[in-house]
Amino acid sequence: MHSRRWRRKSPGGIGFPDTLGNSWIVCSVRLEWLCHDGPARKRSSGGTSMADNEMQTFAALVIQFRSGLLKHAQRILGNTADAEDLVQHALDEAWKERLHLQGPEAFRAWTGRVINTRAISLLRHHRAEQRKAVNAGWVTVLADDPEESEGGELWTFIQEKDLREAVERLPPQQREVFHLRAQGRSYVSIGAQVGRSTGTVGWWLHQVREQLRERLQPIAEERRLSVGTWH
């Protein structure tokens, strides 16, 4: 069986075979061999096949729930591009399981669970990649605080761009010591460079962690709660 990604997009990003017999209304969902000309099969057979019925039923479910699934994925991941890919994955998986998804609520609940599970996996992967990045020291500054390790699961929901934006909002002196600490510099070395005592450096870094936590924790909590809001 051949499969291919449909080329044109409908306004909602979803497509399905037109029940009136026109050409495909194109979508981003790859539905295996159903990407072939379903209406042509219908015309040649003189009726509606079981495959056509499956296709139309599935398309109706996609149209009904895709917008909500996308919003749900965006709330968890924080960006549209990854959310689009995640919904694509969930719909591809739903097509494979279509015979076991009887009715709209079963479809909605199953795709929501796929998104939740996959989103957590993606966020953990992103966090691991951030620690390998050039600015991975940014994350380790938070790890200076024992309280950070207690909220490790929560910080899984914070992405690099979130941390970058929060750091840019720090006062200049605090931002400087943050960057120096992120480079692995000791308190003594930082103090010598900025002309402050190690006690002052430690206090500034404590304030940095508090400000970053204050700005980032609500974002992380909202995304974590979003995982549990799709029932």
pLDDT (tens digit per residue) in 58-96: 888 999 999 999 999 988 888 888 899 999 999 999 998
The pLDDT of residue 14: 41
Which residues on adjacent β-strands are paired with residue 25? 16
Q: 52, 41 in Cβ contact below 8 A?
A: yes
The pLDDT of residue 182: 83
Q: Determine how many CB atoms are found less than 10 A away from the CB of residue 17.
A: 26
Model confidence band, residue 40 (pLDDT cutoffs 50, 70, 90) = very low
Structural domains of the chain, with CATH: 32-119 (1.10.1740.10), 133-227 (1.10.10)
Residue with tokens 């924790």: 217
Model confidence band, residue 99 (pLDDT cutoffs 50, 70, 90) = confident
Q: Can you tell me the distance from the alpha carbon of 205 to that of 39, in angstroms, rounded to the nearest whole number?
A: 65
Most confident range, picked from 24-28, 40-44, 197-201: 197-201
CA atoms within 13 A on the CB side of 45: 12
Q: How many whole angstroms from its chain centre is CA 221?
A: 15
The pLDDT of residue 5: 36
3-state SS of the chain: helix, strand, coil percent to 5? 70, 0, 30
The pLDDT of residue 101: 85
Q: How many whole angstroms from its chain centre is CA 193?
A: 40
Mean pLDDT of 42-61: 70
Q: Is the pTM of this model over 0.85?
A: no
pLDDT in tens, 100-156: 888 899 999 999 999 998 888 888 777 666 554 434 455 556 555 545 444 555 667
Q: 29, 15 in Cβ contact below 8 A?
A: yes
Q: How far is CA 84 from CA 39, 68, 117, 148, 182, in A?
A: 28, 12, 15, 31, 33
